[in-house]
Amino acid sequence: MYSIHEVCQRTGLSAHTLRYYEKEQLLPGVGRTPGGFRQYSEEDMETLGMICCLKNTGMSLQDISRFMTLAREGDHTLRERCELLIRHKETVLTRMEEMQRHLDKVSWKIDFFTEKLAEYERDQGSSGAGPENPGD
Amino acid sequence: MYSIHEVCQRTGLSAHTLRYYEKEQLLPGVGRTPGGFRQYSEEDMETLGMICCLKNTGMSLQDISRFMTLAREGDHTLRERCELLIRHKETVLTRMEEMQRHLDKVSWKIDFFTEKLAEYERDQGSSGAGPENPGD
DNA sequence: GTAAACCTTGAAGTTCACTCTAAGTCAACA
DNA sequence: TGTTGACTTAGAGTGAACTTCAAGGTTTAC
């Protein structure tokens, strides 16, 4: 059993965020001490691991909530969850390929700017104050 | 010269978004017809290309706005812009590597769920209504 | 036993990137 | 000349994912 503070340290999520996730049905029904403090079980920690996994690959909290609702319904939703994960993986792969293409464009721009910069500094050097280390 | 409608078609951005970008200083000073309608020049289109390039690689509109302000200041900001782009590229590469790691985790989860599903369906098949194609 | 640190709740506030609304203007066509 | 329909503006609204606040209850260390 872990306090909210321990869970923060293990997951990197803030206490605020953990309470928010509970409210939003991503991880409902977390246990309480007699005093009313949250107590996370080993199973809760595993669920949180899955939540972070999905969140880190860009799934919306709403979709994660739906996935977790299915998980709570039991093994008869295994096929649905499996298919959902496979579709999600494909989405992420597509997104990464797109990102690579966009990044290629940024690389071209860098080449273009580097060339333009070299030209500009050559002009500055010949007509202006001169290079800082002429005899280097 | 392009009307806002033509720019929408060429960039995939909505008219609302184009006006918003103008207001937010990403692309200020777009020309007007005598009647007050926006007229985008060839140069504006190039700037928009750069904006989309940065946006598509996840740069915030605030940072894009800063970049565009530098661009308007002239060639003496070339070095700064070049360095900025290089740093951005590194950030994106790091983000993509992280994403790949997170995606690997999703893949493991899929394997795990696939196995669990096979087990579950085997159990269902032996104790329940039986497979749908017993003689296949 | 009391003070400081930490927890609880519900609700309001924040940031980002749009997106929509209202009220009015402009252009093209019958 | 009138009527569509696309354009203009300022400003309000939206949704996602938190984040902060206020007011109070619980633990723990001295």
> If you write DSSP's letter for every residue of A38-53 in order, what string do you get?
EEB-HHHHHHHHHHHH
Task: Give the whole-number percent of chain B exceeding pLDDT 90.
Answer: 90
Axis crossing angle, helix B42-56 with helix B61-72, rounded to the nearest 10: 140
Confidence of residue B113 (pLDDT cuts 50, 70, 90): very high
Protein CB footprint (7 Å) on chain C nucleotides:
6-10, 16-20, 25-27
Confidence of residue B133 (pLDDT cuts 50, 70, 90): low
pTM of the model: 0.89
What pLDDT, on a 0 to 100 scale, did the predictor assign at position A130?
Answer: 44
Mean pLDDT of B3-14: 96
Per-residue pLDDT at B130 exceeds 60: no
- What are the structure tokens assigned to A109, written together? 């721009």
Per-residue pLDDT at A135 exceeds 50: no
Mean pLDDT of B6-10: 96
Question: Closest Cα partner for A53 from B113, B60, B88, B89?
Answer: B113
3-state class (DSSP) for residue B28: coil
- The Å distance, CA of B35 to C1' of C28, is 14
Nucleotide with the nearest C1' to B38 CA: D7
Strand C contacted by B41 CB (< 7 A): no
Per-residue pLDDT at B132 exceeds 60: no
Closest partner CB to A109 (pick from B50, B106, B110)? B50
Residue in the structure block whose two tokens are 């969850």: A81
3-state class (DSSP) for residue B71: helix
Nucleotide with the nearest C1' to A36 CA: C8
Looking at chain B, which residue has its C-alpha nearest residue A86? B110
Neighbours of B40 (CB within 10 A): 21
- The Å distance, CA of B22 to C1' of C30, is 37
> Which of B63, B67, B83, B105 to probe the A interface (max A CBs under 10 A)?
B105
What pLDDT, on a 0 to 100 scale, did the predictor assign at position B134?
Answer: 46
